Amino acid sequence: MSGGPPPTTRAAGPTGRSGPPGRPESRQRWLAALAALVVLLFGARLVYVQAIKGPELAQEALASRLHTSDTPAHRGDITDADGTVLATSVERYEVYADQKTIAQFVPTSSHQIDGMPVEGEGATAVARLLAPVLGRDPLELAADLVPEDPDRPNRHKVLKKDVVPEVQRAIAALNLRSVIGTDLVSERTYPAGSVAGNIVGYTGDVDGAQVGQGGAERMFDDVLGGTAGTVTFERGKGGQQIPTGEEDRVEASPGDDVALTVESDIQWKSQDAIDAAVKKHGADYGMVIVQDVRTGAVVALADSGTGDPNDRSTSAVADGSRVVSNIFDPGSTGKVITMSAVLENGIAEPESEFEVPYRYTTENGQTFKDSHEHPVEKMTLAGILAQSSNTGTVMVGQELPEQVRYDYLSKFGFGRMTGLGMPGESAGLLRPVDSWDGAMKYTVLFGQGVSVNAMQATSVFSTIANGGVRMPPTLLAGTTDASGVFTPTPAQEGTRVVSQETADTVLRMMEGVVAAEDGTGGRAVVPGYRVAGKTGTAQMQGADGKLSAIMASFIGVAPVDDPRYTVGVFLKNPRTSPYGGVVAAPVFQDVMGFTLEHKGVAPSTETFEPYATSW
C-alpha cells in the first residue's frame, strides 16, 4: 500500500453543487439589469402613450366631452307690397333645470339675495335665487327642481316657456349656468291678425326650428328659413358646460324677408266685403280676388271667415285658401272664352244677328234652355253675352270644331296649375275631347262640364283686359337679404291667347253686360269709371254628391278705357238669390271702387259706345 497524502476535496456549495462560493456583486448586477429593463419598458410605454398615441387619446377624451347643438336661424319677415309686416319672429326663451346637478349645488359668495348670501343648498338655494326672476313661488319652484324619482333625474326639466330676452338676461346674471339653462326659441307672430291670414299661413316647430306649414310660410320656406348655426362646447361629467373649456360657434345665417304683392288695405276691404255678403245672403262661403291685369300680381285674395294665424286652434288657418283649392264649373263667366274663340276664328261679329229661342235643340238631340223663359228674341252676338243666353251661346259656339273649343279653354288656363304656387291648389278639370259626351261638347261653351278654381276663372278676364296676353298670377314681389338689399321678382313673360283686336272687342262687349239696359250686371257699376264684366251662375257638387249647389259670381275689369284691375267675386249657395248679378255684382262694385280710389286711378274720360244688343 503506497503511502502518500489523501486526495483534496471541495466542500459543497449552497446549491448543493460543488463550486466556488456565490458572489453578491453578480446578484446585484442581475437585479439592476432587470430593473433597468422594467424601467425601459415603462419608459417606452410612456413615450408611446404621450408622444405617439397621446394626441389621438387626448382628442378622443376631448371628443367624449364635446357636445354640439344647433342654433336656429332668424326667420325672415313676410310683408305686404308696401312693407307692412304680416309675419315676423321674436326672440323668446325656454328655461330649464338639470335636476341631477341641482342636487349637488352649493352656493358661493356670488350667489346673493339683496346683498346677502343665499341660504341653503341644492334645490332650496336655486329656487330662492330663481323664483323672483321667473315670478314664481320659491317653494313651488323648489318642488319642480327635485326629481320625482331620485334615480331618474330629468336633465331638461322645463320651468317656463315664452320668456322674453330681458328675463333671460336676468337669469344669466344669477350665475346658475351649471344647473339652469335657457334655450333660444323663436316665436312667430302675425301683427295683421286675420288680414291675409289665408295667404300668409303659419309655421310649426320641427326639431326646434320654425318650418312653414301653410300659405306663404310654406311656399317660401327655403327663402325665409335661413341656415341654422351650431355651438360646440366642452361639458363635465354632470353634463354642465365647463366654463374654461373649449367652445366653437358657427353663426346661423338669417333668412331673407319676403315681400308679397298683396296690399293690406285692399285685402282688408276684400275680406270685409265678402264676409258681409256671406252673412247678408246666407251663403256657405265667399271669395274675392283682385289682380293687376298688367303684371298678373295678386293684390288681394280673400276668403270669408279667414282665421287669425296667431290662434292655431282655428281650423280656418289650416284649411288654406279656397281660392285655389275649391273647384267649380265657371258657368256663364266661361262664355267669355267662347265669344273670344268665335271672334278670333271669324265665325261672327259683335253685331251679327241671331234669332234666339228660350229652348234650343242641337243636331244630336241635346236640348238647352235659358235661365228665364222668353219668346224668340232677335239678339246680336253682343246681346247674347249681355243677356247671358245659353241657347244663343250654343247656337253660335257650335260652329267651332270641338278641338278648337278645348284649345281655347286650355289656352286661357283651364285644366292646368296657375303658377301661383299656393299649397293645396287644384288644377281643376278639363277633360280631353275624346271623353266629351253628347251634352258636354255643348255645355263647355257656356261654362259647364269644366271645373276651375277662382283664380283660373279670374285670370280669363285679366287676359282679355291685358290685350289678349295671359300673365301668370303671382304673389311674390321680391326678397330682401340680411344686408338690406331688395331683389324684385323678375318681370314675367306673358303668353298671347287672342289678338289685341279680339280682346278689345270682347272687353267692349262685356261693358254692355254692365252698362246696357238689358245687361245682367247693372249692379256692378262703379260711378266715374267704365266697367266691363260678366255674371255667372253655375251648378256645382253639393254635400249630397249631386249637382245641388250653386256658385254665383261676377268677374269684371275697370277702367275699360285703360284696364288696371280685375276683381272676381264668388258666393257658394247664396240663399237670397242664385244669380251673380244680384249677389256678387254689388260686392264687385264695393271692392273695385275702393281699389281704384286707393290706388289713385283716374276716372274714365272716354264715353261708352255700346254694340247693339238686338236688331
pLDDT of residue 59: 63
pLDDT of residue 593: 98
Q: How many CB atoms lie within 10 A of CB 71?
A: 15
Q: Rounded to 5, what percent of the chain is helix, strand, coil?
A: 35, 25, 40
- Give the cell for residue 581: 248679378
- Give the cell for residue 37: 429593463
pLDDT of residue 243: 58
Mean pLDDT score, 11-32: 62
Class of the domain covering 264-306+322-476+486-598: alpha beta
Letter for the amino acid at 1? M
Q: What is the pLDDT of residues 123-160, one digit of tens each?
A: 999 999 999 999 999 999 999 999 988 889 998 899 99
> How far is 31 from 43, CA to CA, in rounded Å?
18
**pLDDT band, very low/low/confident/very high, at 318 (cuts 50, 70, 90):** low
pLDDT of residue 371: 87
- For the beta sheet containing 298-303, the strands, ordered from the edge strand earlier in sequence to the opposite edge, are 298-303, 285-292, 565-572, 549-558, 532-540
pTM of the model: 0.81
Mean pLDDT score, 194-212: 87
Mean of all residue pLDDT scores within the chain: 89
pLDDT of residue 334: 96
Q: How many CB atoms lie within 10 A of CB 499?
A: 14
pLDDT of residue 230: 75
- Tell me the percentage of the chain whose pLDDT exceeds 90: 68
Surface-to-core class of residue 139, CB atoms within 10 Å of its CB (0-12 exposed, 13-18 middle, 19+ buried): exposed
Query: pLDDT at residue 63 above 70?
Result: no
- In this structure, of 42-56, 169-183, 407-421, 462-476, the range with the lowest mean pLDDT score is 42-56
**pLDDT band, very low/low/confident/very high, at 421 (cuts 50, 70, 90):** very high
For the chain, give every domain's residue range: 69-106+118-260, 264-306+322-476+486-598
Q: What is the pLDDT of residues 207-224, one digit of tens each?
A: 767 888 889 999 999 999
**pLDDT band, very low/low/confident/very high, at 35 (cuts 50, 70, 90):** confident
Mean pLDDT score, 75-92: 94
Q: What is the pLDDT of residues 322-373, one digit of tens each?
A: 999 999 999 999 999 999 999 999 999 999 999 999 999 999 999 999 988 9
pLDDT of residue 195: 96
Query: pLDDT at residue 12 above 70?
Result: no
Q: Look at strands 353-356 and 116-117 and give their pairing.
A: unpaired
**pLDDT band, very low/low/confident/very high, at 15 (cuts 50, 70, 90):** very low
- In this structure, of 29-43, 53-67, 241-255, 410-424, the range with the lowest mean pLDDT score is 53-67
Contact 566, 455 (CB under 8 A): no
Q: Look at strands 359-361 and 486-488 and give their pairing.
A: unpaired
Superfamily, domain 69-106+118-260: Penicillin-binding protein 2a (Domain 2) (3.90.1310.10)
- In this structure, of 35-39, 482-486, 513-517, the range with the lowest mean pLDDT score is 35-39
pLDDT of residue 308: 92
> How far is 459 from 495, CA to CA, in rounded Å?
12
Mean pLDDT score, 265-281: 98
Nearest to 396 by CA among 347, 334, 438: 347
pLDDT of residue 252: 80
Check for a shared fold between 69-106+118-260 and 264-306+322-476+486-598: no
> How far is 298 from 508, CA to CA, in rounded Å?
24
